[in-house]
Amino acid sequence: EKLFPNPTNANLNVLFNVSENIASFNLQAYDITGAVLYQQQLQLEKGKHTIPIDVSILSTGQYILSITNPINNVTYEQKFIKQ
């Protein structure tokens, strides 16, 4: 998984590589206090995907994007900066 551009002021793109035929993912963006500010559920087929997330409504600051596959309970987290 990769986030770009980082820092961003409008859209944050999430690059996925899905190895299963169909996989579910939960995306959550939260601030440094742990408050969830964005949430989305995805079902993606096998292959590479780029998912745009509109972060323009977030205040300037540092956030964490969490990507969880609830089937195998694997979570990936990465910080991003909203300008």
C-alpha distances in Å from residue 3, one per residue of 54, 71, 73: 13, 22, 21
Residue 5: is the preceding peptide bond cis (ω within 30°)?
yes
What's the one-letter identity of residue 46? K
Q: How far is CA 27 from the centre of its chain?
A: 5
**Over the stretch 30-82, which tens digit does the pLDDT of each residue have?**
999 999 999 999 999 999 999 999 999 999 999 999 999 888 888 999 999 99
Sign of the CA dihedral with 28 first, then 51, 25, and 6 last:
negative
Q: What is this structure's pTM?
A: 0.88
**Over the stretch 4-17, which tens digit does the pLDDT of each residue have?**
999 999 999 999 88
